[in-house]
Structure 1
Amino acid sequence: MTKERSELKWLSRVGGEWRWVQQYISRHADASMRGGTDRFARRKVEGYDQVVVDIADFELTTEGLKFVTRLKNALRQHRYRSASNGRKPCTFSLPNTTRASLSRRAKDNRVTETEAITRLIDDTEWAVRKHSEREKTLKTTLTLERMRSELTIEALKAQLEGTMKYLERSTELVVMWEQAMDSEQPPFNGDRVNVKREMEKRLKKVKAVNAIIALNHDLPSRD
């Protein structure tokens, strides 16, 4: 029967890591550490508690302690390479100068070379993302400016059209008046000050029409 022992601090009961540890023990523990046939037979029983008992037995001897140390190191490597850890091992070659620069960078920042590479990649991704966002913003700004320019052109066209219509009407009235009086410039004995005042009044009306058109198209009016 398996004796009840406290749980191992470095091995959780939850999950399947204890199975990996038990397989490691079966593959790598030599005969001298296995002890008698009873212990060897007992090790074939699967279960977290059985692993705890085996580790406790190993720690009774110097060689067993060394084996447990190797087991812990192997378990750390297993966790590091595990897909559930969000990591995937990869191998690549770097020029000597790049390798030296990476080592200096890691040392200066007091991190491992793996962490230094991860930070470099993360920083690059951040820079690319910011550049993409900036490019998108610029494209949006250019599109809005183009639309505003098109609206401005349409507003100017509308303003010109309104002014031309008013001038056409004024010209029509002048021509009608000239033909009725049978003279291009009939004699005038009135007050020229009043004439100028009336002219300014009518020009003011033209400017008012232009201002209304400009306001409708969100365009500054021209005096």
Structure 2
Amino acid sequence: MIKDRNELKWLRRSGDEWRWVQQYISRHADARMRGNTERFARRKVEGYDQVVVDIADFEQTTEGLKFVTRLKNALRQHRYRSASNGRKPCTFSLPNSTRASLSRRAKDNRVTETEVVTMLIDDAEWAARKHSEREKTLKTTLALERMRSELAIESLKAQFEETMKHLERSTERLVMWEQAMESEQPPFEGDKENVKREVEKRLKKVKTVNAIIALSYDVPSRN
């Protein structure tokens, strides 16, 4: 089974470059590399993702890393010489410092200046694509978080409404008792401090829910 790997920055998924890379591996990888049991077992598997897995296997060793470097250089030459790779002459002016940097990069990497420009553009496209993917993932995450927040607010609103109904019923019973007994305070011989603490405990819950709902709608809460 092909393992999930990241996309190769230097190999385009579109087109059939992966096929050329697989052929290069078959022709130029030494016997020890090609004799890897895991790779040998899946040798008939083709596709871009398979190439990604093969390259990841090569990069586990020093010799494999050197081989991948040679492969990249060969791929650049293949792109440059490919008849199917349409080319159009371009003329543009560059600052002297940029021109010198371009020449230096080409010399250091033993490639042409055209290949350097192509690689830089490919890298920029790859970075832009990855940025777009991350942005899409972030938007999805934010949408889910917003949905969860809205559900939480709805739940708090329901709790608040239920608490207010309970408070309304309690107030109604108190008024009925006052009118029936013609007294504002019922006879009570218990611990008034305990009563006070219980009242504060119940009101604290109401105030907390009220404050959260008020913040979600950016309105002042009633304490």
TM-score (norm 2): 0.47
Which structure is higher in RCO with an 8 Å CA cutoff and minimum separation 6? 2
TM-score (norm 1): 0.47
